Amino acid sequence: MKLTVNGEAHEIAATTLDELLAALDYEGDWLATAVNSDLVHKSKRAEFQLSDGDRIEILSPMQGG
């Protein structure tokens, strides 16, 4: 499946948002996710089905100032 993650094209076999995060080595409770500009809550990621062409944004906190 072709997905755009944080502006970069990916060809990936993941079918759910949870699987995508695992495949791209994202982990932790502090992630924020959006698919096609719609926020997806952590509790919904395991059941959230991805579709070919989806645009996913994954945000994680950064330290600094």
Q: Give dist(CA 64, CA 21) in Å, integer.
A: 24
Q: How many domains does the chain have?
A: 1
Is the pLDDT at 64 greater than 70? The verdict is no
CATH number at residue 34: 3.10.20.30
Q: Quick: pLDDT tens for 2-58.
A: 999 999 999 999 999 999 999 999 887 789 999 999 999 999 999 999 999 999 999
Q: Which residue has the tokens 């699987």?
A: 19
Answer yes or no: is 55 within a domain: yes
Q: Quick: pLDDT tens for 17-31.
A: 999 999 999 887 789
Q: Give dist(CA 9, CA 7) in Å, integer.
A: 7
In the prediction, which pLDDT does 6 show?
Answer: 97
Q: Residue 63 — pLDDT band, cuts 50, 70, 90?
A: low
Answer yes or no: is 30 within a domain: yes
Answer yes or no: is 65 within a domain: no
pTM exceeding the 0.75 threshold for the entire prediction = yes
Are β-strands 32-35 and 8-11 bridged in parallel, bridged antiparallel, or unpaired? unpaired
Give the Cα-Cα-Cα angle 45, 34, 58 (nearest 5 degrees): 90
Show the tokens assigned to 12: 């990936």
Answer yes or no: is 21 within a domain: yes
Range of the domain at 49: 2-59
